[in-house]
C-alpha cells in the first residue's frame, strides 16, 4: 500500500471516530443521575435529623401543588424508586375507656359437700378466773300441809260418800277445803298422806283414799266384836290442781266408822315432802 492508501485509511478512521464518539460516550439518564447522587452524597444523618428532614419534606410537599401524574414503565431507564411508607402505630393506651359501673351480684352457687371431721386439737391453756356474778334471787321456800279430824260417826248408804271433816288442826294456806273434804294441790311435788279411823264393833270398815276420782289405796277392817284403831298411809306425786280425799264405800255391806263429840277418832293428814321445782 502506498502513501496515498495510508492517508486514505487514516481519514476514514477519523471520520468514524467523530461519528461514533457521542454515541459511545452517552450514559443512560438513570445511571447519570445515580452517579451524580453518589458524587454529591452527604454523610448519614441520625434518627432525630431524619425525622426532622422527613417532616420538612412532607410539609413542603403538602403546601406545593401536587405534580401531574406520569406513567413509567418498569423497563424504562431512570424509573423513580418509591420509598416504603411506614405502617402507622396506634397507641392503645389512649383507646382505654372509663371504668364501668359494678354489675349485679350473681346467684349463689350450690353448697359443697361436707368435709370430714378434722382431728381434735390440742387443749388450750386454762382461762382466767371470771368475775363474780350478780346476786341471785332470794331462796323461795314452798310449803303445803294440812291435818283435819272428824268428831261424828258415819254410816254407809246406797251411794259412795266423801268423808267430811269438822275439825281443823293445820291447814296451811287453806289448801284443804273443809266444805268439800278435799285437798287441792297448788305446789306440785311429792306428798305424804295418812288416814286414821276407829272401827265399829260388829261392822265392817271399808274406805279408800282417792286421787282425781281414782281409788289409790284401801283401808279395811273385818267385822269384829271389838272396835279398834285402823290406819293407812302413802306417798303421792301430785301435779297442779290434783285432788285427794277419803271416800266411804256404799252400803252393799253394813259399813261404818266410829267417833263421838268428846274425842276425835278420825284424822286425815298430808304434807309436801319435796317440791317439783327442786333438783
Q: For residue range 29-68, what is the model confidence (pLDDT) as tens digits?
A: 555 555 555 544 555 545 555 655 655 555 545 445 555 5
pLDDT at 23: 47
pLDDT by 10-residue block (mean), the chain, 279 residues: 60 61 51 52 54 55 52 61 67 71 84 83 84 72 92 90 95 95 95 94 91 94 87 95 94 84 93 91
- Domains in the chain (CATH in brackets) are 145-274 (2.60.120.40)
Instruction: Judge whether 31 and 77 are in contact, CB under 8 Å.
Output: yes
Helix (H) or strand (E) run with residue 182 in it: strand 182-184
Q: Look-up: residue for cell 256404799? A: 250
pLDDT at 1: 52
* pTM for the structure as a whole: 0.51
Residues whose CB falls within 8 Å of the CB of residue 193, separated by 6 or more in sequence, listed in order: 209, 233, 234, 235, 236, 244, 268, 269, 270
Instruction: Judge whether 169 and 149 are in contact, CB under 8 Å.
Output: yes
pLDDT at 69: 56
Cα separation, 169 vs 172, whole angstroms:
10
Among candidate residues 250, 189, 253, 244, the one with its CA nearest the CA of residue 215: 244
pLDDT at 140: 65
Amino acid at each position: 500500500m502506498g502513501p496515498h492508501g495510508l492517508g486514505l485509511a487514516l481519514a476514514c478512521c477519523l471520520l468514524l471516530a467523530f461519528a461514533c464518539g457521542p454515541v459511545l460516550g452517552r450514559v443512560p439518564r438513570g445511571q447519570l443521575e445515580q452517579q451524580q447522587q453518589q458524587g454529591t452524597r452527604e454523610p448519614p444523618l441520625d434518627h432525630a435529623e431524619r425525622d426532622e428532614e422527613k417532616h420538612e419534606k412532607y410539609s413542603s410537599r403538602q403546601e406545593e401543588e401536587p405534580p401531574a401524574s406520569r406513567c413509567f414503565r418498569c423497563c424504562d431507564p431512570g424509573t423513580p424508586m418509591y420509598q416504603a411508607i411506614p405502617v402507622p402505630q396506634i397507641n392503645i393506651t389512649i383507646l382505654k375507656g372509663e371504668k364501668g359501673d359494678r354489675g349485679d351480684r350473681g346467684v349463689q352457687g350450690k353448697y359443697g359437700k361436707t368435709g370430714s371431721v378434722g382431728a381434735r386439737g390440742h387443749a388450750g391453756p386454762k382461762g382466767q378466773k371470771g368475775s363474780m356474778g350478780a346476786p341471785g334471787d332470794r331462796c323461795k321456800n314452798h310449803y303445803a300441809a294440812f291435818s283435819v279430824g272428824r268428831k261424828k260417826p258415819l254410816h254407809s248408804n246406797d251411794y259412795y260418800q266423801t268423808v267430811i271433816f269438822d275439825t281443823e288442826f293445820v291447814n296451811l294456806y287453806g289448801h284443804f277445803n273443809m266444805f268439800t273434804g278435799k285437798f287441792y294441790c297448788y305446789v306440785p311435788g311429792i306428798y305424804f298422806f295418812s288416814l286414821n279411823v276407829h272401827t265399829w264393833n260388829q261392822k265392817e270398815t271399808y274406805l279408800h283414799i282417792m286421787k282425781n276420782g281414782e281409788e289409790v289405796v284401801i283401808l279395811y277392817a273385818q267385822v269384829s266384836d271389838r272396835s279398834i284403831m285402823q290406819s293407812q298411809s302413802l306417798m303421792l306425786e301430785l301435779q297442779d290442781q290434783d285432788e285427794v280425799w277419803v271416800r266411804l264405800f256404799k252400803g252393799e255391806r253394813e259399813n261404818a266408822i266410829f267417833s263421838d263429840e268428846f274425842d276425835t277418832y278420825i284424822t286425815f293428814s298430808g304434807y309436801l315432802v319435796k317440791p317439783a321445782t327442786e333438783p
